[in-house]
């Protein structure tokens, strides 16, 4: 079952040891060098392809296809690769457009984009690269697209040639950088990576520029900034202050009395203002970084929305040290969030997440139907958390949602207990946050993760009301479309499902595991029916494969087709592009976690992968799914089959090259334009 492990402060020692060496690790990528041209679609063919796929989606009654996109997964704009991707880059929209055209996506599931957790020993900073480590109330500076700061809209705060130099001056493997993030280069060891240095350069120009539209926007941003965001920024400024003195900036217990209790009643307003005034220069710079991050984020969201793409932000269940410092009364001292798990006998059957447990006694006052009378400190913290996400995204993916219905906590002696009688109080807080932010409440704006132990009560409370999220990597536990509907009692479209998620192994590696193939064969045969007999190809490349290779590819085809037999589905980028690397090796601090990227030449990379039997061939998945649903539209099925075969043929690698070949009459067999 899915295991959620959150990296917190106690893991930093292990991370430090790993951080020194992770850049040296080679990634195994299912790519082929010096391969003959593969078959991309011309512009005319792509238009026909999209009509064909839309017809298939209508026949299959598909409601929503989502791509799970981490910022570091994203390709960089050519000549602007400085070691990490972001959804705010200029490369992002063309890339998402490519996914929409080729895979029919209408939604992005975006994992946490928060500032990454870090520690300080007074000499250097150590970053935890897990996006599930940060604070809810700030966007990460790593999501800022530096090349956009060279635009007039941003006052040309950076010189275009300067930003390009971050790419050209990169002195490590440029090929490796295409396929994995380089956090050392981006963040540095002492806030001296290219990202922070660039933002300081931009900030200095910004401060020395006469009043402009951007200055006015920044003033408005600061005046409207939430108290939670302000406190986050003050925390980071205090850390930097101690760090400059050679002290461990993130060890709150060793802070001065004033700093430790700055936002509590123990400190007078006068002393609080005095301390904040001393930190003012650093606070202003960090506020500027948040301003740029949020400005770019909202501009990206607006552009995606205008082009038919909605966004769901991943609202992590746990809280960072910043939030504990900001809201000490909201957390139990020496108690931590976790899961009762019989697979962890070495820790008294407890899966420890090592993050402070919320004090649910401070939720507030509720009537007999759990309607809110008045929110207390913990209730307000959660309310503000949900409200912040609803401002930044169209909806929320609720991480480990069962912890809001049947929370489990444990102490340092590994003694565990559940919080009783919570019921639907958190849902009532979600409802209030939605109404106050959007003017209405819709369960469809929330996707609930309810996978693992201790989830049944939350499932029963929300099934067929709120969408739930699943992965068929655990198909043998009824986590597959057929069993979820026929055995568990879900309505079609009341859940979204993928073949794998960020905590699973890649689909490639799953297919190479004979035990996994055997465990899922019967389930796939049952769910796909006649479709199970149509996973093969007529292409030359497929014919040349060994029986084992065909078996592995057929398994991958079947696993993808299966998720298209129900209304809502998602895929990860590594699986779409047929990469073997997993996003996160769950439960381990692994030097390969949170690294995998899609290269800037993603179009030719995708079609090359398809020709080798890797990646998601959408028309083939639709074809098999239509057989599984006993469609009698034989003409549509045949056209999908033809399209899937064309994608695996030799020919141009990009749409531009396909257009030239089409004009010259050398394109070969074309995708039929009549649907």
Contacts 24+ apart (CB under 8 A), 659-663: 659/42, 659/43, 661/42, 662/42, 662/44, 662/45
- Phi and psi for 481 in degrees, rounded to 5? -55, -45
| pTM reported for the whole predicted model | 0.92
**Confidence (pLDDT) at 192:** 92
**Confidence (pLDDT) at 21:** 39
Instruction: Read off the tokens for 369.
Output: 């139907």
* Bridge partner list, 351: 339
Q: Is 288 helix (H, G, I), strand (E, B) or coil?
A: helix
134 confidence band (pLDDT: 50, 70, 90): confident
**Could you tell me if 556 and 53 are in contact, meaning their C-beta atoms sit under 8 angstroms apart?**
no
Percent of residues, the chain, with pLDDT higher than 90: 81
Residue 592 scores a pLDDT above 90? no
18 confidence band (pLDDT: 50, 70, 90): very low
484 burial (CB, 10 Å; 0-12 / 13-18 / 19+) is buried
Residue 23 scores a pLDDT above 50? no
Q: Is 571 helix (H, G, I), strand (E, B) or coil?
A: strand
Residue 383 scores a pLDDT above 80? yes
Q: Is 213 helix (H, G, I), strand (E, B) or coil?
A: helix
Write the pLDDT tens digit of every residue in 159-207: 999 999 999 999 999 999 999 999 999 999 888 999 999 999 999 999 9
365 confidence band (pLDDT: 50, 70, 90): very high
**Confidence (pLDDT) at 585:** 83
243 confidence band (pLDDT: 50, 70, 90): very high
Instruction: Read off the tokens for 153.
Output: 């809209």
Least Cα distance to 227 among 257, 176, 262, 199 occurs for 262
Strands 331-340 and 350-358: antiparallel
673 confidence band (pLDDT: 50, 70, 90): low
- Enumerate the domain spans of the chain: 327-465
Write the pLDDT tens digit of every residue in 284-315: 999 999 999 999 999 999 999 999 999 999 99
Strands 495-498 and 568-572: parallel
Residue 33 scores a pLDDT above 80? no
List the helix and strand counts (H, then E) for the chain. 26, 16
């Amino acid at each position: 079952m899915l295991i959620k492990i959150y990296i917190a402060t106690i893991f930093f020692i292990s991370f430090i040891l790993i951080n020194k060496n992770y850049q040296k690790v080679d990634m195994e990528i299912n790519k082929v060098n010096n391969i003959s041209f593969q078959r991309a679609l011309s512009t005319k063919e792509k238009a026909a392809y999209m009509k064909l796929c839309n017809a298939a989606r209508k026949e299959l009654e598909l409601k929503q296809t989502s791509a799970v996109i981490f910022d570091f997964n994203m390709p960089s704009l050519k000549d602007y690769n400085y070691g990490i991707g972001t959804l705010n880059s200029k490369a992002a929209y063309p890339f998402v457009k490519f996914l929409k055209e080729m895979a029919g996506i209408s939604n992005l599931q975006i994992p946490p984009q928060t500032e990454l957790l870090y520690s300080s020993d007074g000499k250097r900073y150590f970053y935890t690269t897990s996006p599930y480590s940060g604070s809810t109330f700030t966007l990460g500076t790593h999501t800022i697209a530096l090349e956009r700061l060279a635009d007039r809209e941003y006052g040309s705060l950076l010189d275009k040639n300067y930003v390009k130099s971050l790419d050209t001056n990169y002195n490590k493997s440029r090929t490796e950088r295409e396929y994995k993030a380089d956090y050392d280069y981006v963040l540095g060891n002492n806030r001296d990576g290219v990202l922070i240095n660039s933002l300081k350069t931009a900030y200095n120009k910004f401060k020395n520029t006469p009043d402009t539209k951007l200055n006015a926007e920044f003033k408005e941003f600061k005046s409207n900034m939430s108290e939670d965001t302000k406190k986050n920024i003050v925390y980071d400024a205090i850390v930097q202050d101690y760090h400059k003195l050679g002290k461990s900036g993130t060890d709150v217990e060793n802070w001065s009395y004033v700093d430790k209790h700055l936002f509590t009643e123990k400190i007078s307003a006068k002393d609080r203002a005095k301390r904040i005034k001393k930190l003012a220069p650093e606070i202003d710079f960090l506020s500027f970084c948040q301003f740029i991050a949020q400005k770019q984020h909202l501009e990206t969201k607006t552009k995606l929305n205008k082009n038919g793409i909605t966004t769901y932000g991943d609202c992590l269940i746990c809280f960072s040290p910043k939030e504990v410092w900001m809201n000490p009364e909201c957390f139990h001292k020496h108690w931590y969030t976790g899961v009762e798990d019989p697979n962890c006998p070495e820790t008294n059957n407890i899966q420890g997440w090592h993050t402070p447990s919320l004090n649910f006694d401070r939720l507030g006052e509720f009537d007999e139907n759990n309607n809110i009378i008045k929110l207390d400190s913990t209730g307000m913290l959660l309310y503000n958390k949900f409200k912040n996400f609803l401002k930044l995204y169209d909806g929320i993916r609720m991480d480990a949602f069962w912890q809001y219905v049947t929370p489990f906590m444990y102490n340092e002696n590994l003694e565990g207990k559940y919080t009783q009688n919570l019921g639907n109080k958190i849902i009532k807080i979600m409802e209030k946050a939605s109404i106050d932010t959007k003017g209405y409440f819709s369960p469809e704006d929330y996707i609930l993760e309810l996978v693992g132990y201790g989830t049944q009560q939350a499932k029963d409370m929300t099934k067929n009301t709120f969408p739930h999220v699943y992965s068929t990597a655990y198909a043998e536990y009824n986590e597959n479309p057929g069993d979820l509907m026929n055995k568990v009692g879900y309505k079609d479209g009341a859940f979204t499902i993928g073949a794998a998620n960020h905590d699973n192994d890649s689909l490639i590696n799953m297919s190479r595991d004979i035990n996994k193939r055997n465990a899922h064969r019967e389930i796939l045969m049952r769910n796909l029916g006649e479709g199970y007999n149509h996973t093969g190809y007529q292409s030359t490349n497929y014919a040349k494969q060994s029986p084992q290779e065909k078996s592995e590819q057929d398994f991958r085809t079947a696993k993808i087709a299966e998720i298209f037999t129900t209304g809502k589905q998602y895929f990860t980028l590594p699986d779409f592009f047929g990469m073997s690397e997993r996003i996160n090796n769950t439960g381990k601090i692994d030097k390969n976690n949170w690294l995998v990227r899609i290269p800037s030449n993603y179009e030719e990379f995708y079609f090359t992968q398809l020709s080798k039997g890797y990646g998601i061939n959408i028309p083939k998945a639709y074809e098999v799914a239509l057989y599984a649903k006993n469609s009698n539209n034989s003409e549509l099925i045949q056209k999908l089959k033809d399209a899937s075969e064309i994608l695996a043929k030799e020919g141009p690698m990009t749409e531009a090259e396909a257009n030239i070949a089409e004009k010259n009459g050398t394109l070969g067999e074309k995708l039929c334009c009549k649907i």
